[in-house]
Structures are given as structure tokens and as C-alpha cells.
Structure 1
Amino acid sequence: MSTPPGHMDPEAQTRSEERLKRLIEASGAGTWEMELTTQQVWADAPLLELFGLGGTPAEAVTVEAVLAGVHPDDRDRVAEALAKALAGEQGGRYAADYRTLAADGRLHWVEGRGQVFFGADGKPARFIGTGLDITARKEAELAVRESENLIREVTDALPVMIAFVGPDLRYRFVNRIYEDWLGTSRSEMLGRTIAEVIGQEAEDAVRPMAARVLAGETVTFDRRIIYKLVGPMDVKVTYLPHRNASQEIDGFISLVADMSEIKKKEDELRRRSEFEQQLIGIVSHDLRNPVAAIQMSTVLLQRMGLDEKQAKIISRIASSTERASRMISDLLDFTQARLGSGLPVHRARVDLHQVAETVVDELRVSAPDQRIVVKHFGDATGAFDGERIAQVVGNLIGNAVKFSPENVAVTLEVRGETDAVVLSVHNFGEPISAELLPHLFTPLHRGKDTEKGVRSIGLGLYIVDQIVKSHGGDVQVASTREDGTRFTLRLPRGPWPPVS
């Protein structure tokens, strides 16, 4: 009797079954067999454990009992795969991955494989199957998928273009922002080169940096790149090399931030600031001449024979003009500090004791009712710009006088140290608020006006800070209700390189 097509003769089938059993034993899988003519089932202990049938008597093991151990959501699919194998589909091969409730009470993933062997009459005669516990593998696959989903969610939420690019400059991963910015779906970008996605001109612009990152260097750069689909964009780009398990560089991570709007706003703010500062400089410069003419006129008028009322009016004009002149000087200094390279200083050998006395003598004339105490300690000579330091001392003492209660002294201390001269100005009165302290040296930032009706444009302390910095020094301030307010300046003696 000839063997039906697609089936083995009995001797070959026996050899095939023996080989299959040896392979199954080597795999570590549980096995089960079924005589299809009698529906008798045999299963080893590992497989019975997987199906929650541990300890079941051999005669009680049935196909129904095995299928009952399969998770309900997978049971129909497993039964269908087994039925197709028994019907001779796919040469009688059986394959299905499914879940079972094992004897330990836990769900297990099982890789089911099997083969139907047909008799000489072409009918299914015997089935040999395996069940391999692949729970660890499935859990690992699930963890990988969850990790990939998390990475996808995180990268999609970030407001930067994130991509992974291979050494052939082809995209292997892109986030959602790539789709939004470039108007191209991920499927259209993955596997394509940089040139194909963003254009040849763009690839030419980044290719040198790509070569550096593929050599192992982290690269960051700012550039205007012309994208073929969206046009020019100002971007900040970071390339990070990626190494595989063998520590070989197999591509790089690309982070691209669109800086176009930020750069546009920065340019607008810069232009506005430059215009404002230039306007301040021009206006203050043009005001200097008429104010100087008024000052000279008041001096001449004061020398004439004036009655008391006229003298009082001229005195007010002179005082107001002097204040306007100081404001103009502050504006010019502010403009020079902002538009230039800081306030210039012209160093010479100067004794700051003498500078302090000169400034205080002048202030005593303008504020005869205010007691100003000067204390001198040590050698105060050094390489300083005497006029600029006088400007600093005058500003600080002037402020102290404004904020001091009547009949309470303002103190100026000049102390010579080994490599520096320290000046401090102290007064009692209302302390500087904690909110104002961080902004004390910010230009055009004013605190409350004093009760004495003094007004300012908020540049004095900024100029003080700039002059001290131009000397390589620093300014510190402390202010409390109990201890009063103290400004402390530390000025290195020099010699100091000339400021260009």
C-alpha cells in the first residue's frame, strides 16, 4: 500500500517521533501526547504543573482538562489552532502562545508547539505537543513595550525635535514634534536620510557636526538652517553619540529646539534698548548746554544787588539747575556704561583721605544742618580715578543725608588695608526694604521717595556700582532698623591695567 501524499511511512514516522522526543527533552519543555484514535492523553509533570493539573492521575488527563487550564480569553484560539493541525493544515503543525493558570496560582505564558502524525490511511493518528514556560520572556517583552511607550509619550510631550539617526544619516526614530514642525508623518521620515527629510542644503549644514558626533564627541551649536518644507529656522542643536552593548557608536541622538521666536524677541528687545539708550544719550547731551547757561546766569545774578525775595528765587533756580545737571551727568554715564565697555577710569596716585574730606566739605555747604563725621584709618593712597571716587562718595553720602533723621550724624569711614582701601558710608533711618535690596544697583529702578521731597531717576547707585567695578572692586550693603544702613566699598590699590 502506497503512502498518501504528504505523509510518512510507519518506519520513517517512528524515527521522526524519536527525534522529536529527543529535541523536546533537550528544550526543557513539558510534553504531552494524544492517541487520536482512542483520545487517550499522556502528559509529563512539568506540563501538568503549567496547566494547574499537578498530581492529576494519568487516566484523568483529557484534552478537555488540558484546555480548561488555558486562560478563558485564550482558550478558543488554542482550540482552533489544535483543530486546524488535526485537520492537516500546515502539514499538521500546531503553534500557539497562550496563558495558563499554573499550579502555583500565577498566570504563566506558554509557548505551545506540536505535530500531528498521520497513519497510513492519511488520517491523524497521533499528536505530540510541548508547552514551554515563556513567562519571563513575555514579561521582558512587555517591559520593553512599556518602556518604548513611555519613551514615546515623554519625547512626544517635549517641545523639541528629538530623533535617533544612524551612522548612514537615516532617521530611525522621530518624535511627534518632527511631524508638527515639518508637516511629514513619522512613517514618511523613518528610514530616510537627513537630506531626503529636511533637504540637501540642511544636511550640508549639519554634516560636519554629524561627523564629529559619530566620532564620539557631544556637539552643541546654534545655526540658522533652511528646511526644505518650512524654510529658514533659527535652531539650537545638540548631538549625543549613542553606543551599543559593544560600546560601538551606532548612531546619535539629535535634539533640535526652534529658537526663531526667541531670537526675534531678543533682537526686538535689543533694538529697543539700543534706541532708548541712544535717545537718552542724545537728549541728555543736548540738555547740558542750556542747563549750563542757566547755571552761569544764576551765578551772575547772585552777584548783583538783589533783595531777599529775589535772592530766594534765584537760590531755588540754582538748586534746581544743579540737580538737573547731576541728572544729566548720570544719564550720560549710564549711556556710556551701557553702550560702551563700561565707565572709563583714569588712574593716578590719589589719597582717598583727601578725596573724602574734599567731598564732605562741599556737601556741608549744601546741607549745613546735617552733621557728617569723617573717620580716617591707615594709608589710603593708591592708583585711583580721584574724580570718579569723589562721584561715588558724593552719591552715597548724598543718599545718606536724604534718608537720615534730623540731628543724627552720617558717618564716612576711610580705612587703608594691605592691598586695598575700604570706604563705608553709614546712616540711621528707615531701612532699605528686603524687596528693594536685590535691585538696588539696577538702573532706572527706584525705591520710595523720601519725606524730604527728593526726586531721582534711579541711576546713582548703578553708576556707583559701575565705577567701583571699573576699579576692580565691589560694593556691599547691609540695612536693618537696629544697625542702620551701611554701604561698604572695597577698592584694590592697584597698579591696575588701564581700561580701554
Structure 2
Amino acid sequence: MVDRETTKEELLDELAQLRQRFQELEQREKQYRQQEQALREREEWARLAIQVGRLGGWRLCLDTNCVEIDQRMREIWGEPEDTVLIPLPKVLERIHPDDRERVAAAVNAAIDPQSSGTYEIEYRLVWKDGTERWVLANGQAQFEGEGGSRRTVNFFGTALDITDRKQMETALIAQEQRYRYIFEAVGVSIWEEDFSEVKAAIDQLKTSGVQDFRQYFTEHPEFVQRAVEMVRLRDVNQASLLLFGAQTKAELLHSLPQIFTPETREAFIEELLAIATGRTQFATETVLQTLQGQQLQVWFSITFPPPSESYERVIVSLLDITERKQTEKALKRYQLLSEHSRDIVLYIRRDGQILEANQAAVNAYGYSRAELLSRTISDLRSPETYSSLNAQFSQAYQRGILFETVHRRQDGSSFPVEVSAQSTVTETEAVILSIIRDISERKQVEAEREYLLRCEQSARLAAESAERRAQFIAEAGTVLNSSLEYQSTLSSVAQLVVPTLADWCAVDILNAGGSLERLATAHIDSAKVEWGIELHRRYPPI
């Protein structure tokens, strides 16, 4: 009985243990199912992320040295639908020659067992039709083992077509380069300034209830002075250095208060009012001074961004109108002079309309004065010169220009002219003062001179050619008289002929057997003499 009771208890204990193990297995299976579900969800998220991100997948099979690619990779690489494996050498061949070595080095570095296995690179891919695409590739190598036994077991990753991004980057770089080129090359003084602190200070005044800013700036000159000090100069162009007499940009960028005058302060208050009222442009005439204290009369123009945008890059342009102002004072004196000038004098508006013409213009073009004032400058230009008109007109406004062109009379005939054009300001507007001289006689003299020069050059060339021929005959005579051994003499003659008379020379004689025998061969390129000998050997003259 005791043994039977003991056995029963053992069975009950074993049953309880089995029940506990079964519950643990159920719990573990439940955890596995949860983990499996989580894994499937993560895989689905990853798949969706790859799909949304237009990522292609790839894997380098280390045992076959082939790259396995998915559908998106086939699209990126321009491969057929049935392509799955591509040998690694073929993959490298498809990479742009300038990037190929760099990509190969990055792959080798990533699969090195002693590396971290990380792979990230941008490169250009060349499609079979010659199209270039930019690709961003990311990858990770997997390793097994430690130390010296560590080895690479897998290398996989993704690729993203970034051609559009690269094109945008290239366009932005080109745009920035164009901006910088224009900024530096233009003949107008340009300043790039940071008004963000000034904008913030004015916004704070608005918040505090200030409404009449003109009155406020008048009553608080200290705010205006602080605003001047708040402006940060970011950059200036070369024209600005020349205009203000600065040696370096750094010198001018720290000299804003030094170039201010009382008139400049009034213009600056108008700038502050433009910011306060949300205007994006403001222009006026004002007075500045160089670092040496010389006054400059300038046309000041500033462009602000919309009030909602950053004021960190505000463009200011300064056009030196000092000479133009001085010209205005003398313009009336010149009007009398122009009427008695033999040169054509025209005053031309910015749109090309002729505003004024002197008597010489009436005589030269065959129009009455009223007819001239109803026409534009393009009406006086010969059609073949239209393409350059806008550029010349623009340069005349900016800094003046001297050029030659062709003008046309009322009867359709044309005549060459030299034009000196300069922007000036009348009482009402900026105009072009154009002084035009008929250079028909000068052109005729130049043509005759060119003809005589060509004749002289032809005569000189003929004389030099005759001299070379005489020299050759003399040298040939010397060679022929130098030796009685005809083979040596004829070989010397062949060498003399090249290159005086020809690029190559061959001398053949009729031997006793009645056939031609090659005695000498000469060529301007000594390396090709053997070619001539071989050509004669293979194809002897009949």
C-alpha cells in the first residue's frame, strides 16, 4: 500500500509539472506569435518605407560575386524585367568612369572583416543609352567570428535615384555662381546687408503702440542712431571698393558710420519708414562720402523682402551720379554748342525714343527735326546691328560706351558711325546723350590702307619665295659639284629638296638592266623614311 500511495503522489507531482510546462509552452508560444506578428509588422513597415521612399534593394552574393537586385533596382539601373543577378564587374562597368574607382574602393572597404561594414556613397550610373543618373547607395556588411577568424558573410543595402536632387543642386550652385558673378562684375556698387535686428526693433515699436513712425523717428534720434548700428554688412562688391576708396572688403564692411553724411541720415529714416509700412522697395538720391572724405552723390536703391520673410539678406545698390549731376549743370551750355557741332547729337530716352536732335542730325539722316523726334534710335540703325542695340544701350546707361555701328538714312542708304553715349539726367528724367560721328571717310582711308598693306605683304611673300628658290638652286649647284660619286650626290639632293620644295622626295635611276633603282629617299619626318623604302620594296615602279 505504501508503494502504491507513493507512486500516486509521484504521478500527481509529475502531472502538475507537466501542466506547468504546458502552460509555459503556451506562454512561450504566445510570445513567439506576438514576436512573429511584430516582426511581420516591422517587415511590412520596412517594405512600405522602401516603397514610399522609392528605394531599390540589392545584395552582393559573396560566393558568386554577383549583385542581386529587386524590381526598383532594375528601374534605377534601367535593366530588363527578368534581370535578377548582375556580375559585380559588370556593375562596376555601368558606373561612370570618374566614379568607378571610388565606388570599388568603398565596396572593398565595407566588406573588409576589420571594418565596421558601413557603406554609403553617391555616384553616377550610365544607362545603356548613355543617360547618366545619380544614385545614393547605402549598405551594411555582416560578419561572423572574432579577431583573425572574422569573415564577411553578407553585404546588402539600398539605392535611391537622386538625379532630380543633383540637378536641383547643380541649378542652385549655378544660380548662386551667376548671382556672385553679377554681384562682383556689375559696375554698380552693391551691398548685401542684414536688417533683421532693425526689423525686430521696429516690430517691437509696433507692439508697444507706436503708429506715427515718422514723428517717432523725428522725436527719437537715438533710435535712428541705434538702428544704424544694428545694420550688419554681409558683403560688398568690387565696384563698392573702388567707389569708396577701400583697399579690402573688411575695411569697408566696418566703415558704415564713416561714409554717412547728414543727407544719408535722412535717407536712412526713409528706409526705416519703408520697413515700418511694409514697403519692399525704396529709392532716392542722397549724399555719401568716401573713406577719404570726398562727397559722392548717389542714386540709392534698396529692396526689402515681404514683411513675413527674413531680413537677413537685403540688397542695396548705389549708383554714382556725381558726374551726372555735374553734367546737368553744364547741359544748357552744351545745348548751344551741340547746335553748331558737325557731329550728330541726340538725346535718347530709356525706351529708345529720340527726345532732341541737333541740326547735324537733320542734315545727316534726311529727316526733318519733327520727324526725328517721332522716331526711336532703332529706326536710325541698320537692321544687321539690332542684335547689339539693347546691350549697348544698357552699357551707355550704366557707365557710358564708345563703339562703332552702322546708321541708316531716310532714303534707306547706310553709313558707318562712331557713337559715344553716356547717361545723363535732365530736369525730368535720365536720358542718353549720344554723340555720333560719320566715319565714312575714315573707313575709306582704312580700307585703302588695308589694301596697300595686303599688296605689300603679297609682294614681300613673292620676293621671299623667289629668294628661297634662288637659295635652293645655289645650294643644289654646290651639292652637285661637291662630289663625282653620283649616288652620294643624288642622296644629298633628295635631302636638300625636303622640306624646301616638298614633304618627301625619292630618286630613282635606270640601271644597266633597264629597270628603276631607288638611290635615295627623304621625308620631312625622318621616322617615315623607312616606310617609303618599304613601300618601294613592296610596290616597285614598273
Q: Same fold (TM over 0.5)?
A: no
Q: TM-score category by the smaller chain? A: 0.3 to 0.5
Higher normalized contact order (CA 8 Å, seq sep 6+, divided by chain length): 1
| Higher fraction of helix | 2
Q: Please, what TM-score do these two structures have when normalized by structure 1?
A: 0.44
Q: Please, what TM-score do these two structures have when normalized by structure 2?
A: 0.41
